Amino acid sequence: MPIGAVTTRIADELPWLLQSIGDLDRLQQCVTNQCIFKLLYQRGLCAELLDYWQGLGKDKLAMAELYFEAIKTVEQSKSCITTFYQIIHKNTVILLSLLKQSA
């Protein structure tokens, strides 16, 4: 989910709904989502997070590894976005330089 798209209602209800229908793959994606984790954690709902992990059958080590992997994925995507914007900026500067020369 994109940043800003997660509301407190989504953070509260989506994991519960996924657990209630038995969609464990999507539940795992949901509870490792940094926005959902942050909203639940900030509001003191750590017990609910742990309940979801228990429902997934994950121990503390597996839970930590999945959170680290989620963080790594976000960092890599941010790096790709940064590189993309750097390339755009560089090409824009070159294009503007060429436009000035042709004027």
In a domain, 103, yes or no: no
In a domain, 84, yes or no: no
Question: What is the pLDDT, as a whole number, of residue 68?
Answer: 84
- Which tokens hold the place of 78? 């941010």
10-residue mean pLDDT series, the chain (103 residues): 75 96 95 88 88 89 84 71 62 60 57
The span from the CA of 67 to the CA of 45, in Å, is 17
Instruction: Provide the whole-model pTM.
Output: 0.68
In a domain, 42, yes or no: yes
In a domain, 15, yes or no: yes
In a domain, 51, yes or no: yes
Q: How far apart are the first and last CA of the chain?
A: 45
Question: What is the pLDDT, as a whole number, of residue 84?
Answer: 56
CA dihedral 54, 66, 21, 48 (to 10 degrees): 50
In a domain, 1, yes or no: no
- Which tokens hold the place of 60? 């503390």
Question: What is the pLDDT, as a whole number, of residue 60?
Answer: 79
The span from the CA of 18 to the CA of 65, in Å, is 21
Range of the domain at 33: 8-78
Angle between the N-to-C axes of helices 34-42 and 24-32, in degrees from 0 to 180, rounded to the nearest 10: 70
In a domain, 22, yes or no: yes
Number of domains in the chain: 1
In a domain, 83, yes or no: no
